[in-house]
Amino acid sequence: MKKIILADSQAIFRAGTAKVLAMDEELRIIAQCTDVERMMHAITTFPGALVLFAASLKPDMGRMRVLLDAAGSRGIVIAENHENPAAYTQLGFRGVVFRNVTGQSLVECVHRVGAGEICVPSQPQFADSPEDDVVGTRVRDRLTPKEMRIVALIVQGCKNREIAQRLKTTEQVIKNYLRSIYDKTGVSDRLELALFAIHHRVLAQAAAEVGSKLEAEEQAAAQAAAQSASSRAHPVAPPAVA
């Protein structure tokens, strides 16, 4: 049985990856890490493991290689979709997968690296224009602005309660919206929804833009609230009358 250390700060992608790997009886996830220091600790704690980690964690690659070699472990990089895999294989990492990797390709890469091989995928092909991603474009256009906000927060790993708080509504309303979103996307749960969005470039870009806009609105509202509170705490004195 191959031992797997899975490290990624993206909760949804990490959960999806764990779900795929758990379906293979020869693979066992022994640690899940959300940041670099936890990952480094897991590498020293569980020698001989396959370490599947996100490049977005931005670890010190030199330190990573030293720890992996000392532990007799091998590293597989989860690269962002437009990165060059050679940048990682030249550093000595044995495998590279992209964010849009299929479950079958992910499992195959893990097995090949576990067997001592080097697994370097071909550069993924992306739609050059929205019209080329027919499914992603169709789904994006069918979703309402409110539904797109919910999708953006789902991709960020938010639970229903947090989504309701951030959108200033109730959990039941969010559940009702999710049923509509599932129908429009053809998925059955929030994990499938997040992975569907990640794998369709047009939808992923739209969700990222909406997520950034939502964060900007929240920051602006927080600043306005802070200024209002400061004004109430320190009212301006009226000008003296001569």
| pLDDT tens-digit readout, 181-203 | 999 999 888 878 887 887 787 88
Quote the pLDDT of residue 236: 60
Quote the pLDDT of residue 132: 59
Q: Which tops the pLDDT comparison, 226 or 64? A: 64
Average pLDDT value for residue range 205-213 = 86
Highest CATH level, class, for 130-229: mainly alpha
Measured between alpha carbons, how far is 58 from 35 in angstroms, rounded to an integer? Answer: 9
Quote the pLDDT of residue 128: 45
Residue 29 forms beta bridges with which residues?
Answer: 4
Where do the structural domains in the chain lie, given as residue ranges?
2-114, 130-229
Residues 6+ apart with CB under 8 A from 63: 40
Residue among 78, 125, 72, 122 nearest 98 (CA): 78
Q: Could you read off the pLDDT of 96-124 as tens digits, one per residue?
A: 998 877 778 889 999 999 999 999 876 55
Quote the pLDDT of residue 99: 80
Query: Could you tell me which CATH number the domain at 2-114 has?
Result: 3.40.50.2300
Split at pLDDT 50, 70, 90, the class of 239 is low
Q: Tokens standing for 38?
A: 């936890």
Quote the pLDDT of residue 36: 95
Look up residue 83 and give its DSSP letter: S
Measured between alpha carbons, how far is 183 from 56 in angstroms, rounded to an integer? Answer: 32
pTM (2 decimals)?
Answer: 0.64
**Average pLDDT, rounded, for the chain:** 87
